[in-house]
Structure 1
Amino acid sequence: MGGHGGHGHGHGGHGPHYPEGAKIPDWKQWNVIDDNFPELVKYRDRLAKKGLKDPFIRDYAWIYDRRVSKPWDSFKPLFSGFYIGAGIFAAIVIKKTFFDKPVEKIDRYPLLNEMQDRDFE
């Protein structure tokens, strides 16, 4: 198995492998629930009124951290493909407008049209 402790994984080092340049935030920054987390402050206060405490509240602090995310960030995924879609739409409109030949109108029911023309004479 080689000199890697017999695990056979072939990976060098231990622990998670993050992309180069990725900065992992310090967990201690979410230890204090303050004005940056108004939703969690309300939640903590509601629990306190009932005599309860959530020991894991800091685990959810990163979701509500106003320093990290903005209110409109939750809408970003809805528009993630907007520019690509708008570009494709524009390309189709330009192609149809300038490069497609006009479609000839074909009379699919010539006998029916003749009968209607006779009825009105």
Structure 2
Amino acid sequence: MKTLTQLTFDNRFARLGDTFSTEVSPQPLSDPRLVVASEAAMALLDLDPTEAEQPLFAELFSGHKIWSTAEPRAMVYSGHQFGSYNPQLGDGRGLLLGEVINEAGEHWDLHLKGAGKTPYS
């Protein structure tokens, strides 16, 4: 099991470029606190469940702090909205903090909803 600082990021989506996303930093909360953590989700990341007890856990998963190897991105996409085609939709106030790769080689997206204004809010 890994600590928070040992997570391995492989930000494939960020490498697709600005056509698909925009680099955006989350708007940090002034006093982030953990309410609940999913041990099942932490297991998917190979993250030691005791890491949820660390103050850094709430800071990282709230966007108050960012992993040095994460690349927060607001994602854009196109589609139909309210019966009309819209060439630029997006995640609103959601951010892809980065993609974690676990020991099995699986990629897991870390998303933060309510991260502040994005170009697609």
Shorter chain as denominator, the TM-score bin is: under 0.3
Relative contact order, CA 8 A, sep 6+: which one is greater? 2
TM-score (norm 1): 0.21
**Greater strand share, structure number:** 2
Name the larger-Rg structure.
1
TM-score (norm 2): 0.21
